[in-house]
Amino acid sequence: MINREWHLVSRPVGWPKPEDFALVEAEVPPPGEGQVLVRNKYLSVDPYMRGRMSAAKSYAEPFELGKVMQGGAVGEVVASNAEGIAVGDHVLHFFGWREHAVMDAKHAVKVDADAAPLSTYLGVLGMTGLTAYAGLLRTASFKEGDSVFVSGAAGAVGSQVGQIAKLKGASRVIGSAGSDEKVKLLVEEYGFDAAFNYKNGTVSDQLREAAPDGVDVYFDNVGGDHLEAAIGSLNQGGRIAVCGMISVYNNTEAAPGPRNLARLIQTRGRIQGFLVGDNYDLQPEFVAEVGPWVASGRLKYRETVVEGIENNLEAFLGVLRGDNTGKMIVKL
């Protein structure tokens, strides 16, 4: 069996370029003892993958040059030499960026295609959903009555943060996004109390207008001027959960930090970064609470679907540009 798979051939400097990658053909080996062969149906592309393209030491190992990259995927088992996983089962795993994958069965988690669409296990019921849940409730210590500001609010994580906050009794939820269309979506479909297009003026001014009484929680997906604005509007005892800083991922020089950090002394504010991988103990609680919200339609989600393995790279670059509304998915 011949596989098409994406390799990293050079480490990007600044914005990734098509010549940094190659779509290659490779032979797929049969599964060995305790392994399964999966035909991928949906692939995930996420901002954190940009960091793995660098050789710099980080919380995840860099992608190897000349080797197939990795990412979340959902697929159908087409051959199995493992107990507990049968041909026809659907599994969630981390061997994306390719059409077929052979893996040890311990790296494959069975999912129910009848309970929810397969793509949702990469988004609203998957890693991005748990990221939103853990970051808001554990890292930011959200409590009923809090005012919440979310940047990148129309993305896969941000859109869930805002909705979970509303469902949990937030007094006010504000979101920022990169287009008027996304701003409309946040308010009219996701139930945000206010939202603004960060391209239409300074973030600090627009945030003060949207949250005249300040914010208690800021969920940061963007960094840069958004983080500085949030510090400026933070109420006493406010908490900031740093999930991502997509505005600086492609910088070739270190970005300057917020100029108003001293305000944290006045507000007794707290900034804390987090990784979803440190919060998998919340997975059962997350599924038990969020699953019914999704099933009932109380928690809404969007997916931006790009078709074809040949367009996997363009889908990833689209995430960095902010082209997606909700979770970016590649359908094979």
Quote the longest CA-to-CA distance of the chain.
Answer: 63
At 162-191, the pLDDT tens digits run 999 999 999 999 999 999 999 999 999 999
- The 8-class DSSP code of residue 54 comes to S
Task: List the one residue out of 166, 167, 150 whose CA is nearest residue 158.
Answer: 150
Cα(26)–Cα(102) distance, integer angstroms:
12
Joined together, the tokens standing for residue 261 give 């950090």
Are 210 and 194 a contacting pair, CB within 8 Å? yes
Joined together, the tokens standing for residue 164 give 């979970």
Beta strands in the chain (DSSP E): 2-8, 21-27, 35-44, 73-80, 90-93, 100-104, 109-111, 147-150, 172-177, 194-197, 215-220, 234-242, 270-273, 303-307, 327-331
Joined together, the tokens standing for residue 227 give 């983080």
pLDDT score for 38: 98
Are 92 and 74 a contacting pair, CB within 8 Å? yes
Task: List the one residue out of 248, 242, 249, 245 whose CA is nearest residue 222.
Answer: 245
Phi, psi of 24 (to 5 degrees): -120, 160
pLDDT score for 253: 78
Q: What does R_g of the chain's alpha carbons equal in angstroms?
A: 20
pLDDT score for 182: 95
Residue tagged 């300057």 (tokens): 256
Query: Could you read off the pLDDT tens digit of each residue along the chain, which spans 332 residues?
Result: 899 999 999 999 999 999 999 999 999 999 999 999 999 999 999 989 999 999 887 778 899 999 999 999 999 999 999 999 999 999 999 999 999 999 999 999 999 898 889 999 999 999 999 999 999 999 999 999 999 999 999 999 999 999 999 999 999 999 999 999 999 999 999 999 999 999 999 999 999 999 999 999 999 999 999 999 999 999 999 999 999 998 877 776 777 789 999 999 999 999 999 999 899 999 889 988 998 999 899 999 999 999 999 999 999 999 999 899 889 999 99
At 36-48, the pLDDT tens digits run 999 999 999 998 9
Task: List the one residue out of 203, 267, 272, 278 whose CA is nearest residue 242.
Answer: 272
Cα(234)–Cα(327) distance, integer angstroms:
29
DSSP string, 130-157: HHHHHIIIIIS---TT-EEEESSTTBHH
